[in-house]
Structure 1
Amino acid sequence: MKRILFSVIFFSGYCFSQEMDTLNINKPKKLDSGKVLSNKIKTKNIDDVVITGTIKPISKSKSPVVVEIYSQKFFQKNPTPNIFEAIAMVNGVKPQLNCSVCNTGDIHINGLEGPYTMILIDGMPIVSSLSTVYGLSGIPNSLVDRIEVVKGPASSIYGSEAMGGVINIITKNALTAPKLSIDVMTSTWSENNVDLSTKFNFGKNAASLLSLNYFNYEKRIDQNKDNFTDAALQNRISVFNKWNFRRKGSRQAGFALRYLYEDRFGGEMQWNKSHRGSNEVYGESIYTNRVEAFGVYQWPLKENIITQFSYNFHDQNSFYGTNPFEATQKVGFTQTYWDKKLGNHDLILGLAFKKTFYDDNTPGTLSADGLTNDPMKSPIFGAFIQDQWGINEKNTLLLGYRFDYDKIHHAIHSPRFAWKFSPNPYHIFRFNFGTGFRVVNLFTEDHAALTGSREVVIKSDLKPEKSVNGNLNYVWKIPVGDKLINFDASAFYTYFSNKIVGDFDTDPQKIIYDNLNGYGISRGASLNVDYNFSFPLSINLGMTYLDVYQKFDGKERKVQQLHAPKWSGTYNLTYKFPNNLTVDFTGQFYGPMRLPVLPNDYRSEYSPFYTLANIQVSKSFISGFEVYGGIKNMFNFTPKDPLMRAFDPFDKYIDDPVNNPYHYTFDTTYGYAPMQGIRGFLGVKYTLK
């Protein structure tokens, strides 16, 4: 097996925490049509400040890049213990479970697999490839101030991993955070989550935020009677400390540290730790240790020069049945850029450096002769330029270019183009275009390569993937009294060459990886609609259509992407009663998606249409307390037969001609939704401002 190289190029923005929920207009403003925009019109997030699309803070309405903003209050409508579960509330973003045993997952944007999604914390590339397997579930919602989502190309800004999009998790600012915040939640499945945070002021110009999250789920439940845990047991602790400083001229300065430990298990109900790695009782057991550090410093100069830095250490000790997987990844990153305004041009020039160390016990880090261990050490140097040109009040143009160089693939070029046209405040058109580049490490990105349920075969020396991406967005604000109905529609198209795909179909005992001898396409459209009625009801609805597939040279056959539903959507309805009583009805729906079936599989190749619906009732008090409770998965949907041959997880009877004539193997990849059925939850919060 030839060595697999992993190379990522990152470039990211810094955290700027500011929100405006009202369009502030001191005087009525005439539109081109002759109408007048009243200063009484209000709409949620009409002029929020965003940073993810263009690096520097800019109002959402003026940004040429399409950026969606979701506040912590939005995610509290369906409380979850971590970001991985919460992000399902965003239209077009799907947290995908890749293993029905240990519940590993990644985040899909517009049908593209998790490795195409870049996850940032405060604009820093903290979530490295190894940690996407389990690290996403270790990010507690208590840290979040807001989340910004960019769907589509962002390679010239954020590097090669941003081929599909960017999710930027912006944490709370210590200077403005509450003095004390407590959130305790439990469920009828005995999922217990505790969030504690407090801040300390050091004079008027410094503050420190200390946050502790503890999640515990150790109740073994097997409602479908396959002798496997329906949900992976987890015992997790996360400690977060962030410092922010006030400086002259509003210069930026901040620093943060986070530590995560998790003990996770999924497997047969009778498993205990004495069975770890044995062939007696099947279990998948994962120990994770993780350290993160990141910060930003703006130099005390007349010119606007900013330095950012981050470091993460991730250690994983795991067994998948009898197969051990031990891996360590260390990623250091720093960049400095100059932000300069020249007339109608906002220029950004910068340099970046990133170094990745990765080592594991798989053939992925063997030397070329396969005899000695050879950890991957990949330094990458980058330079970038961006010009945002305000041509006039109606037109804004953004041009970007990034050059990266590493020792394996040498020069990497990433151009970018974005244009915004707004004839009046009611209509905004945006067009984004860019290229992508990615090199894959299968053992950190594809959980199926780790489980041991199938043999991994790599047919050739994998070449890096390339893509060309385009996105067209239209925002229409319709005045209704003193409110606005917001329509946000997008159409997107991505063309892949050298796409790296896993072949699950040719041999049921193998996953065969190779560059696609053809091309891949991801295309579709999405629509979001939100409106606050004159009475206390607000709605937010989203729908996405996807067509994600591959075509092979010389073949007309069109192969649909696994786990990419043609239709999906979100719904969010909130009604506020008097006396601070609120009811939230939220959920997602998914149309049929193609699943990895075995030859002669008795299970359907496509999932059914299903919805995961939740309802919550909350009551807040003047004292700072809030009580909330509700029902999750209220229609009690769970996948049927997520595991093949759960009674023979070590494939001892694969060649039994009587009881297994089709030679089925134990397989964990069919699951497409959580196995947790209907359950209740109850929680209490306290906030001291």
Structure 2
Amino acid sequence: MRLFFLLFYLALCFLFSVSVSFGQGTIKGVIVEENEKGELSPLIGANVIWLGTTIGASADTNGVFSLPYNAESRRLLVSYIGYRSDTILVETPEQLTIILKNSQVLDEVQVIYRKKSTEISYMDVLKTEIMGEQELFKAACCNLSESFETNPSVDVSFTDALTGTRQIQMLGLAGPYVQISQENIPYARGIATIYGLTYIPGSWMSSIQVAKGMGPVVNGFESIAGQINVEIKKPEEKQKLFINVYGNQEGRMELNLFSRFRLSNRWSTALLLHGKTLMLKSDNNSDSFLDVPLSNQFIAMSRWKYVNPNGLRMQFGAKGIWMDDIGGQVQFQPDRDKLDTNNYGVGINTNRIEGFAKLGYIFPKNKFASIGLQISGINHKQESYFGLRRYDATQESGYANLIFQSLIGNTQHKIKGGSSYLFDRYDETLDSLNYKRTEIIPGVFVEYTYAPLDNITLVAGLRADHHNYYGSFLVPRVHFRYCMAEKTVFRGSIGKGWRTTNIIAENLGMLASSRHLILISDSALAGFGFKVEEAWSYGFNITQEFTLDYRDGSIGFDYYRTDFENQLIVDFEQSSNEVWFYNLEGDSYSNSLQLTFNYELIRRLDIRLAYRWFDVKMSYGSEWNPADQAFQEHELKRKPLMSVNRAFINLAYATKRRWNFDCTVQWQGEKRIPEHPDPDLDVESPSFFIVNSQITKNFVTNVDFYVGVENIANFRQENPIISSENPFNENFDSSLIWGPIFGRMAYVGFRYSLE
């Protein structure tokens, strides 16, 4: 294994040396502009041409250009609209850094393009939906798990009826198969796989990037269904101050604050604060249980940025999270009833400290070559109880990712490579059972990008990782982009991903029941005794933009399939009071199809339509043989609590008088319900609609007031808690959730910003 890693590193070193030495008869350079702070930014599409010839080139998305050296002319003309042209004498082939100056300031600007709330770049090899602040403001998204109400690509459901925790799904697969990152650093994973989505307040986010399928190898090995990356507001934001206040009819109150300070031309900092409280008890369905758990939450983040004009960039920060949630029966009192049969209660207390740093360096004489280092550390402690059960967990994690990127000869050939290191130490206790493990995963990766033409891009990546328990893994991934016409783009991808499982933290909803855990594990394997999950994902998407009656629109078609080689099966159907865990034997796959339509119906009225179809099946064991400790047969079944058909519509209208109206309607088809003893539950759930709406008024340029209603039709799953009248018997279960557990919810709030 050491020899393999050594050879891999030598190959990287060879590629890096080639990128510097290749192309001796070629002139290469980067065209940039310099702002008031001395920061350089690329001028995309700037033109260079040898004077007196027709030999020229255009700068790419990084401002980089390359063209053969012309010894006869030697004078290079550089031009860009709105900037003064420049002529440079080039005596010998070399790498150039060209800084253009702005030529004029326009007194009047006519806006001919209205920025969309969700953008998709045609140049990126991955189809990435970028949800900006304008999209996030369409709903009062209070944290990341509540931010996808207006996005059809991400599904949100509840883990159980007691904690009210939301979980996401992509391509018909559960949230743990989606790689969640904060500014490209792995985030909601391990103990925080489910609850980590609540650790990022909505008002802190500047954008969310959503991509389906496998991600680039540079970002790691864990993405299987897709990637969600969150960008947090930074010290260089235009806003000096941002305040958001929110309240709803259930008594939930939130306050969010962002403030940034410029200390010097090189140093800047930002402070972000979040507070939440909910102390009003409610039981609208009269089942003796709280509809929404009581909650107190405080999150604070301090981040810093340093910029050196010589090419050095640095960011670092720290974040602290404190959460205390209490749910269960209305009469439950923690001091009196905790872990007792007087009243059923749920309590979750979380203390978490995070730190991160990013260090980057752009080589002054070679602007298209850079090296960067990402590091993060986490200390997570959770104490919780569910009725008579107690679950405590701690996690200490460290992460580092070193990335080098450059060109090989010219801009048609780009290379990235580096190494990563992931460390996780877990200590979990469920009642009398204790699970301790330390996972160490070093890895190396290389990624090659070939772009022979502006309309073709091929990215091929390979990474090798070594797990201290499970051995070595190779992860190949390929992404392809082809613009068939000016407004038509085709993208395809294929790749492999793998991950280790955290069976308790990823299935916390099961603890809100009387189900016993049955682990069909292998004592020879570390941790919980299960294999690593491995899967291949492949798919394609086509996006067609059009202009109809002077208004823009787009049509999209996505198809993805995921095939599992190994998977942990979580089986609720062997017994009504048990949940079984065992390794996959047989087939397990997911097929996902999505059609989308976006168009500006009339001026300032946007419509977004989507239809999704899922075919998600896995092999469940049947006829357990205690003597052999194995199932005699396996049956391929449709995944429970998952709709085969879903539809989505979003309407957004903005008036000239600064009113914004948004409405989202979602329809979910029938879902298969796992076998259960409750005669009131059917084999399949009914189909249903969810309607949400919000009105926002911008009174002045920096003050917004908004009011909205979630679940306007007041549809909710009847009796989501089985045996709620006797929560300590063997049939008690609040985890079989197929629909909304909250009824109609009205809210109000305001936003203030200062630039």
Task: State the partner residue of 1:550.
Answer: 618
Task: State the partner residue of 2:709.
Answer: 631
Contact residue 550 and residue 558 of structure 1 kept, 8 A: yes
Shift of 1:182: 1.1
Change (3 A) 1:453 1:46: closer
Task: State the partner residue of 2:674.
Answer: 596
Shift of 1:587: 3.7
Change (3 A) 1:552 1:192: closer
How many residues were matched structurally? 628
Contact residue 237 and residue 260 of structure 2 kept, 8 A: no
Task: State the partner residue of 2:589.
Answer: 521
Structure 1, residues 560-604: CA drift from partner, whole Å, max 9, x if none?
112321122332211122321121112432212223341464302
Paired with 1:231 and 1:569, the residues of 2 have a C-alpha distance of: 27
Higher alpha-carbon deviation: 565-574 or 243-252: 243-252
Change (3 A) 1:524 1:208: same
Pick the structure with greater CA Rg.
2
- Secondary structure at 2:587 match in 1: strand
Structural mapping, 1:234-253, within 5 Å: 234-248=295-309, 251-253=312-314
Change (3 A) 1:604 1:25: farther
Paired with 1:262 and 1:437, the residues of 2 have a C-alpha distance of: 31
Paired with 2:301 and 2:491, the residues of 1 have a C-alpha distance of: 37
Contact residue 138 and residue 662 of structure 2 kept, 8 A: yes
Task: State the partner residue of 2:102.
Answer: none
Shift of 1:47: 11
Task: State the partner residue of 1:6.
Answer: none
Task: State the partner residue of 2:192.
Answer: 131
Match of 2:424 among 356, 359, 364: 356
Shift of 1:154: 2.5
Paired with 2:611 and 2:290, the residues of 1 have a C-alpha distance of: 33
Task: State the partner residue of 1:617.
Answer: 695
- Secondary structure at 1:446 match in 2: helix
Structure 1, residues 325-349: CA drift from partner, whole Å, max 9, x if none?
1110111001111111122111101
Task: State the partner residue of 1:559.
Answer: 637
- Secondary structure at 2:739 match in 1: coil
Higher alpha-carbon deviation: 444-453 or 605-614: 444-453
Change (3 A) 1:150 1:388: same
Paired with 1:597 and 1:271, the residues of 2 have a C-alpha distance of: 30
Change (3 A) 1:680 1:599: closer
Task: State the partner residue of 1:685.
Answer: 751
Counterpart of 1:347 in structure 2: which amino acid?
I
Task: State the partner residue of 1:288.
Answer: 350
- Secondary structure at 1:252 match in 2: strand
Higher alpha-carbon deviation: 568-577 or 190-199: 568-577
Task: State the partner residue of 1:467.
Answer: 535
Structure 1, residues 220-269: CA drift from partner, whole Å, max 9, x if none?
11111110111222111111222223332665321122111111121000
Task: State the partner residue of 1:79.
Answer: 140
Paired with 1:414 and 1:534, the residues of 2 have a C-alpha distance of: 47
Paired with 1:427 and 1:215, the residues of 2 have a C-alpha distance of: 45
- Secondary structure at 2:742 match in 1: coil
Change (3 A) 1:328 1:160: same
Change (3 A) 1:190 1:114: same
Paired with 1:193 and 1:558, the residues of 2 have a C-alpha distance of: 45
Q: State yes or no: 1:315 paired with 2:315.
A: no
Identical columns (%)? 24
Structural mapping, 1:210-359, within 5 Å: 210-248=271-309, 251-274=312-335, 275-299=337-361, 301-302=363-364, 303-342=369-408, 343=410, 344-359=412-427
Change (3 A) 1:363 1:231: closer
Task: State the partner residue of 1:662.
Answer: none
Match of 1:379 among 440, 448, 452: 440
Structure 1, residues 648-686: CA drift from partner, whole Å, max 9, x if none?
1111xx5xxxxxxxxxx0011112333221122111111
Task: State the partner residue of 1:643.
Answer: 721
Counterpart of 1:295 in structure 2: which amino acid?
A
Task: State the partner residue of 1:537.
Answer: 605
Structure 2 spans left out of the alignment, 5+ residues: 1-38, 48-109, 523-529, 622-631
Contact residue 155 and residue 435 of structure 1 kept, 8 A: no
- Secondary structure at 1:74 match in 2: helix
- Secondary structure at 2:148 match in 1: helix
Shift of 1:630: 2.2
Contact residue 41 and residue 484 of structure 1 kept, 8 A: no
- Secondary structure at 2:505 match in 1: helix
Shift of 1:132: 2.2
Shift of 1:491: 0.5
Task: State the partner residue of 2:3.
Answer: none
Shift of 1:546: 0.7
Paired with 1:120 and 1:587, the residues of 2 have a C-alpha distance of: 28
Counterpart of 1:427 in structure 2: which amino acid?
T
Counterpart of 2:340 in structure 1: which amino acid?
S
Contact residue 326 and residue 360 of structure 1 kept, 8 A: yes
Change (3 A) 1:244 1:381: same
Task: State the partner residue of 1:13.
Answer: none
Shift of 1:534: 4.4
Paired with 2:118 and 2:713, the residues of 1 have a C-alpha distance of: 37
Paired with 2:355 and 2:148, the residues of 1 have a C-alpha distance of: 23
Structure 1, residues 607-662: CA drift from partner, whole Å, max 9, x if none?
222222122111113352111112221111111121110011111xx5xxxxxxxx
Paired with 1:604 and 1:155, the residues of 2 have a C-alpha distance of: 43
Contact residue 106 and residue 132 of structure 1 kept, 8 A: no
Structure 1, residues 299-322: CA drift from partner, whole Å, max 9, x if none?
364541101111111110111111
Task: State the partner residue of 2:735.
Answer: 669
Q: CA RMSD in A?
A: 2.5
Shift of 1:98: 1.1
TM-score (structure 1 length as normaliser): 0.87
Change (3 A) 1:45 1:61: farther
Paired with 1:188 and 1:552, the residues of 2 have a C-alpha distance of: 43
Change (3 A) 1:155 1:520: farther
Contact residue 365 and residue 375 of structure 1 kept, 8 A: no
Change (3 A) 1:618 1:552: closer
Change (3 A) 1:45 1:297: farther
Paired with 2:665 and 2:313, the residues of 1 have a C-alpha distance of: 38
Task: State the partner residue of 2:460.
Answer: 399
Structure number with the higher strand fraction is: 2
Paired with 2:140 and 2:166, the residues of 1 have a C-alpha distance of: 19
Match of 1:171 among 232, 238, 249: 232
- Secondary structure at 1:299 match in 2: strand
Paired with 2:289 and 2:719, the residues of 1 have a C-alpha distance of: 11
Q: State yes or no: 1:503 paired with 2:571.
A: yes
Contact residue 323 and residue 452 of structure 1 kept, 8 A: no
Counterpart of 2:685 in structure 1: which amino acid?
S
Paired with 1:601 and 1:346, the residues of 2 have a C-alpha distance of: 62
Shift of 1:284: 0.7
Change (3 A) 1:622 1:105: closer
Paired with 2:282 and 2:431, the residues of 1 have a C-alpha distance of: 36
Q: State yes or no: 1:101 paired with 2:159.
A: no
Shift of 1:556: 8.7
Higher alpha-carbon deviation: 593-602 or 182-191: 593-602
Structure 1 spans left out of the alignment, 5+ residues: 1-17, 27-38, 51-59, 367-373, 655-664
Shift of 1:465: 1.8
Change (3 A) 1:276 1:608: same
Counterpart of 2:456 in structure 1: which amino acid?
N
- Secondary structure at 2:222 match in 1: helix
